[in-house]
Structure 1
């Protein structure tokens, strides 16, 4: 037998997990009150010193909470799986949802009445003072019009703090926070006080010292709390555990760790403090198996069983971190996603395989805990041991959507192409969903925007218009186009127009964060902020990027190919017929995909006839009865002279991306490249380059509502394809054909990450043969230069049963996009999107 079962978690880990699963997420007010008090007390100070004083206030006063059974301590909130509010970034959306956040469709949070009152009082201070307010003031009306129309959104950093970073955990494990303070003091002593840079550098250094002294005190408060609890504890085993916790917290992270338990506690303090400083998500642990391994390897008093339990405890703690968003963003990030990506395996800086015992133990922890966090990722290359990849496939077929798998052979050269040294590129980790970066040297600004490529195509098909509004440039009435190059030329012009405003929006938000909310605690953990004497938000990192991501690539490619095939090659359809069908949503009412044409036919009223005649005369100066009939049909959602449903069937039956057909796949590749090449033309305020990604979170469902009917036969408002995946149900030639199609996209230029979801029936990957086939699909896809793949291994019947009886399926975790989530907490439309994905088997 090749396959081997995962062990069972300890009773402690099971109890800790239950406390997370059973928790009702709540909003808490302590951080919001404390940060508001701090800002009121520091009026007139430079922004970065105000931030430091705010961090000091929070670390010195946030409630200290140690939960039952914990071996690793440090909590952001009093209640499990709850969240604090960070009003310095934005607040009005919270206030607007005081009465509704607990019952909304996606990611509800309870807001107790007293908490709402405390938050409401704190919010009074922040009017006009948030990063969101400042960013909005910088944006042109054109940018706002694009966002209102659903072309793109920059809500991630617009409303929240900056995240998407991996800091130098290993540095703190070695020298502690005290070592950071000493490094800053040394830098201050070497400064030339006569240079203009001296003033701002001095402020930055002071802010770091203030922040890190407060962080040391935060840990010491936990040491004191643990000692107090131990004094009252009657159970001798738990008493001893609390005393050890107190000893750990008194030592780390102030000083370097000397054993694995101290390293684990130090790691968690860093992770939780980063979350406390700002509301940024995707604070990613990175290559945990690399920087933690020396403490595991050299700890002679450590049993493997206890080491595994400590890792399991960290995995549970990662699920204690939660975040609330506004109602619309919550739908895009459905599933209480926090995106703490933890990466194992791959190469080291020398290009040698880096797999070690902790690489396997991290996979074991995910099998034990079976919760969405961390977003476990593995790196795969030609030198990856077979037993490591097979173990990863064993974990994947448990059905939780982890690990996601990444291809060193694509990512390393793509990062070198962006200016990283080879050693730094080899050391990459994954941030957030699927974004590669060099850890502790990068401010990547990943996930900087959702860009709706399918919406841009829709606008192209309508000569730059959305409804009656001329949103983009006039690029021509498509019924006058004579070849596919006319379509590509128009699409490229529209893409250039909207990417330009996307860049403006991102840069407005970027500047606002640098001016109002620099983050000294975070900055000191990324090179070379201390050396340069400036925060991460001001360009202190060695590598600076901005990474907006597109979705709807398969929809765009399939639509372009459908026009090419049916209009210009086979001449089955005319452009006039196609345009009429699209304008009428193929004769369907918007949002009613199962309704037939005839069922939706309204009576042709005198008023509608008059309206149709008036519009046609105004547009053309002449009229005939066919035009009137067509116009009335479009008003009614029917086609009176054209069978729009038959047109839709022709388009829907056109070969699609995902079946290893070059003619189709290369069209999708070209459409994706048009976006990527346009994005990379631009630079950001931190002196770095924009780089494109192609991944959706779950925005393909939410922003599909903004897209009208498309030439691939898709009806208006339906979900778009996720990431670089084929459209749901369209990849019909098996898993290898699907991966071959996806690999034909130019993943090297999408260096901010690409995301490919694939779903297998459990029976397909069962047993040793299924496991070997599973691993072979991964190897084959990566040999063909795909960047990333992740799997759901679950049957449709289980998902449907979980929809019917959610109380019986609390433990069901699925892969949504670049993250996993409990299936039962997802909005139904996101659940439906996951259910509709093709379930593959091996023929």
Structure 2
């Protein structure tokens, strides 16, 4: 915890302790209510069925108000419990029921009674879930890529990957009643002799159902708060409960008119969006911009003081942390640490290019630092005009050692959006979504990231093996011949070009299939209502209702690809120290034996990405551009249905996919042994970067950043001792400004922890309960991670300033 930002208030500190001490449970309420709703409404149109499902959940689920809280709203029957979403997938739930509490990481607990309840409803969902229909819908050849782990998209069809932010600012200003009014007007105006309008009528009727359901949900809490107030003996708490009751009687149906009303309205809607869908990365958007008018008005009117506002924001972050999610074990390895990726963005610019930092920006930094949690995921929008004072405050948050904030560069992201057709005023209003992905809140389509992880190093091995997957021997695509017979490095580039284009095409097929079944199975009515122009068009987000719709597919092992290409070029074809056949045999043996170990040493000594060496950096740029060139040929399922865009772009947000995808990849020409983790994001491979952070920044900045609009994820690690010195904190600020101003970097984030601390935490986890690390584009408590993911973080390079 930080002495710079001060402690939490006693009650918030107590609330935090309760949350950290809570054992993550599996909650079955949503599963039971959803099953009953689906059984009773099998004949209803999808939009109506989904709306009734949400209505029934909000009517029947357990609600409570914690003794410490000033904000009402809970996701599950107890805090930190994870609901089951049976309509997405049930087979893995039943298969893993008895293993939840015995996992290597991300442990959950479930009672025998609740296990039986889930087993009782399982037959209804057999061959009747999103996952079932998704797997059945994959074209047979494309499914081979999925089954072999080359393209991993399980998250898209087992949990629904939201990756969006609605327009909370507008919602608080006009209240949900305005969305209700607009939907009713649209419904009344429909000419139902046009069959397309019949489909639209279901969507509008669904909106009317869910708005009324949200209003009733708030009333449930209002009544509970009033009942608690009647029994409360402490006068101050009694007054608080009565005020909560008043506010919940009003918002979110009516517009918010004060800071407290705005925060409660924001939280309840954000919470319900989590309950509605089984997505993650449902983000808050530019919170400082839409909350600041309420905050400044109440400050000026004397209705609130900064200390009380800070406590309320801390309360919001603690409530945000109560939300939890359980994934299948195979998917968990790609999202280690039970992350929800709920991003909140601060700073940036106004539409006229001025610094947008305000009082709320500072308050958000301070309150997030005080809470020292893994949620929310905090992002700072950097630009040339960001003041030194605010940068200093950001570095103080970095010093707290929980992996936040991440920094995104306006000067790269805004022009990239404008080039792709985003209106300038919208581009200037972008926010971070999830990890490093970016979108315009309230105007972007569902899933701004594709979540189909393509394993670049495995793709290279397949290309070298004439299109054959080397582990299974499966012929996946046509190559140009076997690497053992190559006589020039140009043939390596040619085989990469041929195979990666086919794999990119398969990625698009898999992604489109996922989107197709998501649209057919899991309409999100409330989320769509809060996104422009869904009501105007009568289409939900998955049907093409949003103003913009771009998807970034994700590439894993970029540094391994770079280092592998450089090693082959240098060692095999230039220096001729190893023949192609010798290298291939060494890879197949996992470098076993003295001869092959010598080959491995030669590969490790070749130029490495992350050291500002054009020899290797340009190789990966050229190889990456082949993939990007191919990807530009394809459209997503919303193309031509209304949104601007409807296309794909690249992204490097690999989250923790580098660990499981590395586990399924044989030895690679960079000297990496079989099963070892791949490099994460666009960061260099472990210990490959020898020349300090500036060299890393220079290598990363050479990537085709303007084309990787989905995010160029860069993790760096420094020690707490280093940032203890004021001069080093100033150096970090200068380093950040150089990276963004001169090198045009996209993103960077920092782990501030020593290797010794991490090793001790592995041995004595009880002494490091509060230890948080940056895994990839998100933070997680170190102790909940699997041993493999912990080891991966430990081995990252510690930089000096």
Shift of 1:497: 1.3
SS of the residue corresponding to residue 448 of structure 1 reads strand
The aligned counterpart of 2:718 is 760
The aligned counterpart of 1:457 is 460
CA contact (8 A) 1:27 1:85 kept: yes
The aligned counterpart of 1:277 is 276
> For the structure 1 residues 20 and 100, does the alpha-carbon distance in structure 2 shift closer, same or farther, using more than 3 Å as the test?
same
SS of the residue corresponding to residue 658 of structure 1 reads coil
- Is 1:466 aligned with 2:418? no
The aligned counterpart of 2:529 is 524
- State the distance in 1 between where 2:651 and 2:500 align: 15
CA deviation digits over 1:800-828, x for unaligned, max 9? 11111111111111100010011111111
**TM-score, with normalisation over the residues of structure 2?**
0.97
The aligned counterpart of 2:440 is 438
- Is 1:824 aligned with 2:776? no
CA contact (8 A) 1:263 1:295 kept: yes
- State the distance in 2 between where 1:511 and 1:565 align: 45
CA contact (8 A) 1:131 1:509 kept: no
The aligned counterpart of 2:343 is 341
CA contact (8 A) 1:77 1:83 kept: yes
CA contact (8 A) 1:765 1:773 kept: no
- State the distance in 1 between where 2:251 and 2:544 align: 29
The aligned counterpart of 1:776 is 734
Summarize the alignment of residues 574-723 of structure 1 with structure 2, pairs less than 5 Å apart: 574-587=579-592, 597=593, 643-687=595-639, 688-723=646-681
| Alignment equivalent of 1:400, drawn from 385, 402, 409 | 402
SS of the residue corresponding to residue 97 of structure 2 reads coil
CA contact (8 A) 1:284 1:342 kept: yes
CA deviation digits over 1:765-799, x for unaligned, max 9? 22221111011111111120110000001111111
SS of the residue corresponding to residue 439 of structure 1 reads coil
- State the distance in 1 between where 2:740 and 2:328 align: 37
SS of the residue corresponding to residue 509 of structure 1 reads helix
CA contact (8 A) 1:131 1:516 kept: yes
The aligned counterpart of 2:263 is 264
Shift of 1:235: 2.2
SS of the residue corresponding to residue 397 of structure 2 reads helix
CA deviation digits over 1:392-418, x for unaligned, max 9? 111112211000000011111221222
Structure 2: stretches of 5+ with no match in the other structure: 640-645
| Alignment equivalent of 1:751, drawn from 694, 709, 715 | 709
- State the distance in 2 between where 1:102 and 1:796 align: 28
Shift of 1:500: 1.4
- State the distance in 2 between where 1:197 and 1:466 align: 46
CA deviation digits over 1:419-440, x for unaligned, max 9? 2112111111011111011111
- State the distance in 2 between where 1:31 and 1:698 align: 28
- State the distance in 2 between where 1:274 and 1:221 align: 18
- State the distance in 2 between where 1:768 and 1:4 align: 15
- State the distance in 2 between where 1:576 and 1:173 align: 65
Shift of 1:582: 1.2
- State the distance in 1 between where 2:467 and 2:161 align: 33
CA deviation digits over 1:300-319, x for unaligned, max 9? 21111111111111111111
The aligned counterpart of 1:795 is 754
CA deviation digits over 1:662-681, x for unaligned, max 9? 11111122222222232232
Shift of 1:106: 2.2
CA contact (8 A) 2:446 2:542 kept: no
- State the distance in 2 between where 1:531 and 1:839 align: 52
Shift of 1:194: 4.1
**Which structure is larger by alpha-carbon Rg, 1 or 2?**
1
Summarize the alignment of residues 216-227 of structure 1 with structure 2, pairs less than 5 Å apart: 216-227=215-226
CA contact (8 A) 2:163 2:279 kept: yes
CA deviation digits over 1:618-641, x for unaligned, max 9? xxxxxxxxxxxxxxxxxxxxxxxx
- State the aligned residue count: 787
Shift of 1:4: 9.2
The aligned counterpart of 2:92 is 93
- Is 1:387 aligned with 2:389? yes
- Is 1:549 aligned with 2:508? no
- State the distance in 1 between where 2:451 and 2:717 align: 28
- Is 1:229 aligned with 2:228? yes
CA deviation digits over 1:146-169, x for unaligned, max 9? 112111111112101241110010
**TM-score, with normalisation over the residues of structure 1?**
0.92
- Is 1:249 aligned with 2:208? no
CA deviation digits over 1:550-594, x for unaligned, max 9? 11000001100111111222222221221121121111xxxxxxx
- State the distance in 2 between where 1:740 and 1:72 align: 45
CA contact (8 A) 1:431 1:437 kept: yes
- State the distance in 2 between where 1:268 and 1:28 align: 21
CA deviation digits over 1:676-710, x for unaligned, max 9? 23223211111111222112101101110111111
